[in-house]
Amino acid sequence: MLNSKSFLAAILAVCLVQISFGQQKRALTHEDYDGWESLSSTRITTDGKWVGFEVEAQEGDGRLELMPYKDPTKRLVIPRANGYVFSPSDKFAIGKIVPQADSVRILKLKKTKKDDMPKDSLFVYNFQTGELSKLAEVKSFAVPEDDGDWYAVHFEKMKPAKKEESDSTAKAEKPKKTEGSKLSVRNIGTDKAYDIDRVKAFGFSADGQYLQYTLAEEDTLDNAGLYLLDLNTGETTTLSEGMTSYSRIKFSPQAKFLSFLATNDSAKAEKTYYQLFLADLATKQVDEIVNRSSTGILDRSRVSPDESLTFSEDETLLFFGVADEYKEFAYEKDTTILDDERVSLDIWGWQDDQIQPMQLRRKSQEEKRAYLAVYDLSSKKITQLADRQIKEVSLPNEVKHNYALATDTDPYFRSYSWDIQIGRDIYLINIRTGERTLIKKEAGGYPSLSPEGNYVSWYESKDSSWVAYDIVEKKLIGLSSGIPVPLYDELHDSPSLPGSYGSGGWLEGDEALLIYDRYDIWKVDPKNPASPVNLTKGAGRSNHMVFRRQDIDREERSISPDNDLILTAFDEQTKDSGFYTGDFSGKNSPQKIILTPHAYYGLTKAEDSDEVLIRRSTYEENPDLYLTDLSMKNLKKVSNLNPQQAGVNWGSVELIEYLANDGTPLQGLLYKPENFDPARKYPMMVYFYERNSDNIHRYRAPAPSASTINIPFFVSNDYVVLVPDIKYELGLPGPSAYDCIIPAVQEVLSMGFVDRDNMAIQGQSWGGYQVAYLITQTDMFKAAGAGAPVVNMTSAYGGIRWGTGMSRMFQYEQTQSRIGGTLWDKPLYYLENSPLFYMDRVSTPVLIMHNDEDGAVPWYQGIEMFMALKRLNQPAWLLQYNGEDHNLRQRKNRKDLSIRLSQFFDHYLKGAPAPLWMTEGLPAVEKGRTLKYELSDN
């Protein structure tokens, strides 16, 4: 037996081994970002036999992995492959292979011309033979949508051959100029193949019977054309030749017809007029059916090249667009005016429906506006569905009935700058006759047609109800009149009308609409709305479990009650999630399939079998791909992303509960390092934005920051990170933040492991505003980071959101800023919630980021904050990334911000040396020459 000394020595040795083992795990660095992987494009063949997914690195080369569902170990890994698809016949996979990222970077450093850069390749993998073939210099590829074993490959243009030295005096033949290139069409199951030169564009019919293609002009000769290849016989038919441009080429659903637009006008013509053509593929007869002079189209209009062509499912109707005729303006055409004499001017008129910035943002959209029209293939009649009064007409995804919907917001749009919940007039339009029926004036919702075209339904925000319009009976129905619980967002806390929880779709035959409340699902028969059926038997509300219908049929238009009712489930209290089975009759309570402390998403079922793909994650568990079936009894993990995480001090997250200052129970997320020691005192970062606790099982990848702290990076570097939920009182956004955030901080402080002298806060946009407000109310934080903060609500109120061209008034009166009135109605609320007027109270060092092309928050807000602190001699730095938006878009800038955030907070919370950009600044004469990351000696 061991004596006491030996026992203590043994224990000490074990502890030292454990400490040594623990120290082997390193902290994340900024160099880790590029190689961190993510999963995308998860697919399963319709027969469920093959699975594929792409793995993308944040920067660098990715890969594609293909495997048999029943034996994932026999996988094929194709480096740098992406954009793949499975053939409709399930016989092969096809996709591109992009050049090596490192090679491309080296060539860019050498200023290599675009034409000399490496081009994409193509792979085709035959599931039946296991053969992998590759083709070089590929521009694009395609397969039929629904059926067939064909694929088409469009190659890059061939480079002119280099001239060879020759004694011959014969003049070398000049290569012909064309925008076209070789198209190769292949059948995976046979030896059939077709090669076509000078192809400009191409496309398959959905059933794989035909291929249409256009030839580009050659040496400016008028020899472009549109052609049809019968893939079964190999016969090629010339549908049209001699036009200068062909576009919007569209097969009808069963490939009975082909429609297209064409023009004779030159590409340089100031006015380009298109004609609409229809080809009967049985007879190969091609007719021009619509032009600018056709009877029935809108006056002073022309066929629009900017609107897609759409056939009805029965192939009797063809929908197209017409646009306003070109206008000529004398001033614009006046050739006696020099360019530097022309006036550039925006006139803001009080009577305009849209303010000038919004008009300018939407200018391109308006220039391409098309008014929907329809051509009846039987009667050859054109019916205009949209016009200059009723502009917005929408068709169902599959046109099977006689109606379309139109909405008109023009009568109410003038107030849109301050009232974004404007009404809309809803019209029902008879597709065959063009007859319009106004079914609701100034509705407060977004209407949609039921699959069979019997009803129009929407959520009416003005009275928080669901309504429907019976098209046959021509009457409005209150769908939710019999539902005894609220259907509006019960957590809504802004001065606007609350939204709904949505709906789950219509049952077959338009027999019922599934409507969601906060927790449960209601089946409502529009013919008997007073007797709704709670499909989840109230189990959601009684258990605080959110149930929603899981769509497992990618082709579903309406819900068959004969199929399984699969429900997603989310526990609001524990944050567990999973799946249940339900009952369309409502007789049985939901039955649990799986419910675990994970986030589940991306459930995909094979179309013709029971095989299922699903992804799941926690903060610690990467969202990898699993194979299973709808029973979820066995989940087989088939991807293994980021194995390097095992060697990193990662961390964990837990749910905390606390009371706001008014006694409201709230939740928050607390992230701790993996080697957490409750006896230590940790520095703590506090990040916040509205409510985040539902995201406890979200995997957060290490990534350079677009605006906010990267939580895994700080946790890995021995910070505790707190993310509290916030609920708001109207008119008091600043005090509400204080009343929720400070109690959360105090709750964590009471746990004993946070160094109360080394805490910081950081937020972006709305979070940045709250950071700015909090440091005027408390000095408990040693440092603060405020990204794009609004600090002066009085000046920001009249500003513009340049990203949309909208006035910012709506934000304060109705949405996130939550003041609930105009500046002149509630001036004290604007003043008291504006941190700028209390900057003299700030004693916290602040790092501000606000960029000069911010399209959401006026850039001058960050400047106002910085200048106030500078005037008050308070430590503050303003990072202004040139040409950047609200959140950083360019990866180089994101990496830079990540470094500066960590340096700033490490200095104040860990006592690390300050970098030179903080101590010396970055003078304008040194801009672009140095980054000043180096740490100072002081």
DSSP assignment of 618-649: -SSS--EEEEE-TT-S--EE-----GGGGGB-
Q: How large is the average pLDDT for residues 596-600?
A: 97
Q: How confident is the model at residue 11 (pLDDT cuts 50, 70, 90)?
A: very low
At position 661, the amino acid (one-letter code) is: N
Contacts of 31 (CB under 8 A, 6+ apart): none
pLDDT at 875 over 50: yes
Q: In this predicted structure, what is the pLDDT of residue 12?
A: 41
DSSP assignment of 503-514: EEEEBGGG--EE
Q: In this predicted structure, what is the pLDDT of residue 140?
A: 97
For the stretch 503-536, pLDDT in tens is 999 999 999 999 999 999 999 999 999 999 999 9
Q: How confident is the model at residue 270 (pLDDT cuts 50, 70, 90)?
A: confident
Tokens 């249940």, residue located: 580
pLDDT at 598 over 70: yes
Q: How confident is the model at residue 16 (pLDDT cuts 50, 70, 90)?
A: very low
Q: In this predicted structure, what is the pLDDT of residue 173?
A: 58
Q: Which residue has the higher pLDDT, 134 or 191?
A: 134
Q: How large is the average pLDDT for residues 158-186?
A: 69
User: Tell me, what DSSP letter sits at residue 147?
Assistant: S
Determine the Cα–Cα distance for residues 231 and 691; give it in Å rounded to an integer: 56
Q: Are 547 and 582 in contact (CB under 8 A)?
A: yes
Q: In this predicted structure, what is the pLDDT of residue 334?
A: 87
User: Please, which contacts does 869-873 make with residues 24 or more away whose CB atoms are closer than 8 Å?
Assistant: 869/839, 869/842, 872/839, 872/840, 872/842
Q: How large is the average pLDDT for residues 401-408?
A: 93
Residues shown for the chain: 938
Q: Identify the weakest region by mean pLDDT among 265-279, 588-602, 733-747, 854-868.
A: 265-279
Q: In this predicted structure, what is the pLDDT of residue 753?
A: 98
For the chain, percent of residues with pLDDT exceeding 90: 87
Specify the pairing of strand 81-86 against strand 92-97. Answer: antiparallel
Q: How large is the average pLDDT for residues 177-200?
A: 91
pLDDT at 851 over 80: yes
pLDDT at 446 over 90: yes
Q: In this predicted structure, what is the pLDDT of residue 330?
A: 86
Tokens standing for residue 108: 């860019």
Q: Are 533 and 523 in contact (CB under 8 A)?
A: yes
Q: Are 876 and 846 in contact (CB under 8 A)?
A: yes
Determine the Cα–Cα distance for residues 916 and 880; give it in Å rounded to an integer: 17
pLDDT at 221 over 70: no
Q: In this predicted structure, what is the pLDDT of residue 4?
A: 42
Name the nearest CA neighbour of 588 among 637, 534, 543: 534
Q: In this predicted structure, what is the pLDDT of residue 3?
A: 47
pLDDT at 14 over 60: no
Q: How large is the average pLDDT for residues 322-350?
A: 89
Q: In this predicted structure, what is the pLDDT of residue 164?
A: 54
Determine the Cα–Cα distance for residues 130 and 150; give it in Å rounded to an integer: 17
Three-class SS string for 1-53?
Answer: CCCHHHHHHHHHHHHHHHHHHHHCCECCCHHHCCCCEEEEEEEECCCCCEEEE
Name the nearest CA neighbour of 317 among 262, 392, 367, 372: 372
The helix (run of H) or strand (run of E) holding residue 545 is strand 545-549
**Chain-wide mean pLDDT for the chain?**
93
Tokens 């109707």, residue located: 317
pLDDT at 2 over 60: no
Q: How large is the average pLDDT for residues 359-376?
A: 93
Q: In this predicted structure, what is the pLDDT of residue 21?
A: 44
Instruction: Identify any residues that bridge with 546 across adjacent strands, giving them in sequence order.
Output: 570
For the stretch 52-74, pLDDT in tens is 999 999 999 999 999 999 999 99
Q: How confident is the model at residue 168 (pLDDT cuts 50, 70, 90)?
A: low
Q: In this predicted structure, what is the pLDDT of residue 556?
A: 87
Tokens standing for residue 827: 């001036």
Determine the Cα–Cα distance for residues 931 and 915; give it in Å rounded to an integer: 10
For the stretch 418-444, pLDDT in tens is 999 999 999 999 999 999 999 999 999
Taking each helix axis from N to C end, the angle separating 766-774 and 733-749, rounded to the nearest 10 degrees, works out to 70
Q: Identify the weakest region by mean pLDDT among 326-330, 368-372, 633-637, 825-829.
A: 326-330
Q: How large is the average pLDDT for residues 175-191?
A: 85
In angstroms and rounded to an integer, the radius of gyration of the C-alpha atoms of the chain is 32
Q: How confident is the model at residue 159 (pLDDT cuts 50, 70, 90)?
A: confident
pLDDT at 577 over 90: yes
Number of neighbours of residue 589 by Cβ within 10 angstroms: 13
For the stretch 764-799, pLDDT in tens is 999 999 999 999 999 999 999 999 999 999 999 999
Tokens 């007789």, residue located: 587
Q: How far is CA 563 from the centre of its chain?
A: 30
Q: In this predicted structure, what is the pLDDT of residue 163?
A: 56
Q: Which residue has the higher pLDDT, 398 or 227?
A: 227
pLDDT at 166 over 80: no
pLDDT at 729 over 70: yes
Q: Are 857 and 763 in contact (CB under 8 A)?
A: no
**How crowded is the C-beta side of 158, counted as CA atoms within 13 Å?**
12
Tokens 């049952």, residue located: 507
Q: How confident is the model at residue 19 (pLDDT cuts 50, 70, 90)?
A: very low
Q: In this predicted structure, what is the pLDDT of residue 174?
A: 59
Q: How confident is the model at residue 897 (pLDDT cuts 50, 70, 90)?
A: very high
Tokens 């089975």, residue located: 581
Q: How far apart are the first and last CA of the chain?
A: 56
Q: How confident is the model at residue 189 (pLDDT cuts 50, 70, 90)?
A: confident
Q: In this predicted structure, what is the pLDDT of residue 332?
A: 84
Q: Are 271 and 213 in contact (CB under 8 A)?
A: no
User: Please, which contacts does 465-472 make with residues 24 or more away whose CB atoms are closer than 8 Å?
Assistant: 466/500, 466/503, 466/513, 466/515, 466/524, 467/440, 468/513, 468/526, 469/426, 469/428, 469/439, 469/440, 470/526, 471/403, 471/428
Q: How confident is the model at residue 6 (pLDDT cuts 50, 70, 90)?
A: very low
